């Protein structure tokens, strides 16, 4: 495993972060989920990402149970706050009330005294930014949070938060967690250069575009059984944008590129996002241990310019790159 600093901070995290969105607490039974987390540990992963909202708070419970006997100082545990976690009007958003209550609940579920990184899961237009930043800073001063970050914020929102924190003398954000892959490049034009300037690192999710970049989905063919594309619910909705013949045909052109490097298409996809110098880590999920064992091999892989150019040529016409697609709800969900 290789390690990188998270933004302009002293915290180093594994190039591969294990994330349990969608799978744990819902699609995968708890025993398999714990075996997968233990496989991630065995593979050298020290960084683990979850969120209060995943599987209706159950994902945090699964992760806490799996990690409870590990040496806490050897782990970096991340979670997030924003989306609804209860029926109340204040069980959502980035108000001081919800941040404090949600953090305490996450700590209980994760069975830990602190989280290494606490992230604003979206931007909250209904809460003054200074209120959110002050609440985060108070958690840092209380020792319940070591660092703070955001997820899916625009370049302007990130700059405003960094500037305001400096003016108020508060702990600054060091990370952003956006979607990023060969197919989804909306952060490249604005978020990445702004973040690089401000010392904010990217912890990217869905580097394999919900599994499409693994190459297992073929144009003109139904999705294999027991895959995200053949399931129902949030996972199927997310992957549906890529289940077009033009995209799937282009992705098949990546297979020989990966093979020439001795990589699987999935490993190539992960190595590609790690080639961006502003990316600190790629979040990889898994529904069974072997998946994480295979994908972790992307750590430390270096892609040359010719390979990067070949990837761009293969995917020409199917890449999404409009920075305006980084959005948060106008009102709290």
| pLDDT > 90? residue 4 | yes
- CA 283, distance to chain mean position in Å, is 5
pLDDT tens digits along 81-135: 999 999 999 999 999 999 999 999 999 999 999 999 999 999 999 999 999 999 9
Q: How confident is the model at residue 229 (pLDDT cuts 50, 70, 90)?
A: low
DSSP string, 281-324: EEEE--SSHHHHHHHGGGTT----HHHHHHHHHHTTTS-B--GG
Q: Nearest-CA neighbor of 14 among 31, 32, 2? A: 2
Q: From the candidates 54, 82, 118, 147, which is the catalytic residue?
A: 54
Q: Nearest-CA neighbor of 21 among 97, 89, 83? A: 83
* Range 51-68 average pLDDT: 92
Pairing status of strand 76-81 against strand 47-49? parallel
Q: What is the pLDDT of residue 190?
A: 98
Say whether 82 is catalytic.
no
CA dihedral 292, 114, 66, 25 (to 10 degrees): -80
The share of the chain scoring above pLDDT 90, in percent, equals 81
| pLDDT > 70? residue 236 | no
Q: What is the pLDDT of residue 275?
A: 97
Supply the pTM of this predicted model.
0.93
Residues 265, 294 contacting (CB under 8 angstroms): no
Q: Nearest-CA neighbor of 255 among 172, 174, 311? A: 311
Provide the CB-side half-sphere exposure for 101 (13 A, CA): 14
Q: What is the pLDDT of residue 63?
A: 94
Q: How confident is the model at residue 242 (pLDDT cuts 50, 70, 90)?
A: confident
pLDDT tens digits along 307-322: 999 999 999 999 999 9
Q: What angle do CA 237, 242, 246 make, to 5 degrees?
A: 150
Q: Where are the domains of the chain?
A: 3-211+269-302
Mean pLDDT, the chain, rounded, equals 92
Q: What is the pLDDT of residue 218?
A: 87
pLDDT tens digits along 149-200: 999 999 999 999 999 999 999 999 999 999 999 999 999 999 999 999 999 9
Residues 245, 220 contacting (CB under 8 angstroms): yes
Class of domain 3-211+269-302 as given by CATH: alpha beta
DSSP code at position 99: H
> What is the distance between the alpha carbons of residues 78 and 157, in angstroms, rounded to a whole number?
21
- CA 205, distance to chain mean position in Å, is 3
Token code pair at residue 20: 């349990």
């Amino acid at each position: 495993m290789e390690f990188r600093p998270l933004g302009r901070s002293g915290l180093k995290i594994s190039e591969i972060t294990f994330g349990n969105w969608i799978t744990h607490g819902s699609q995968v039974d708890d025993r398999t989920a714990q075996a997968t987390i233990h496989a991630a540990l065995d593979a050298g992963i020290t960084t683990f990402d979850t969120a209060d909202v995943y599987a209706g708070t159950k994902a945090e419970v699964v992760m806490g149970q799996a990690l409870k006997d590990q040496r806490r100082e050897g782990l970096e545990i991340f979670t997030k706050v924003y989306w609804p976690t209860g029926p109340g009007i204040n069980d959502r958003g980035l108000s001081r009330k919800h941040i404090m209550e949600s953090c305490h609940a996450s700590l209980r579920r994760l069975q830990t005294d602190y989280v290494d990184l606490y992230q604003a899961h979206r931007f909250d237009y209904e809460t003054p930014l200074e209120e959110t930043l002050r609440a985060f800073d108070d958690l840092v001063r209380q020792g319940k949070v070591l660092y703070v970050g955001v997820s899916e914020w625009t370049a302007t929102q990130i700059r405003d938060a960094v500037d305001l924190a400096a003016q108020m003398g508060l702990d600054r954000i060091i990370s952003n967690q956006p979607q990023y892959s060969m197919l989804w490049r909306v952060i490249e034009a604005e978020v990445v250069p702004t973040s690089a300037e401000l010392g904010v690192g990217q912890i990217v999710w869905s580097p394999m575009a919900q599994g499409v970049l693994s190459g297992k989905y073929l144009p003109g063919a139904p999705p294999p059984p027991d895959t995200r594309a053949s399931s129902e619910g949030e996972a199927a909705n997310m992957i549906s944008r890529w289940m077009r013949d033009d995209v799937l045909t282009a992705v098949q052109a990546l297979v020989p590129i990966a093979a020439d490097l001795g990589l699987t298409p999935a490993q190539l996809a992960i190595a590609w996002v790690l080639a961006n110098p502003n990316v600190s880590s790629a979040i990889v999920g898994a529904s069974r241990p072997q998946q994480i064992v295979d994908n972790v091999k992307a750590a430390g892989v270096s892609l040359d310019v010719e390979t990067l150019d070949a990837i761009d040529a293969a995917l020409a016409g199917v890449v999404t790159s409009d920075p305006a697609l980084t959005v948060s709800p106008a009102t709290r969900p």
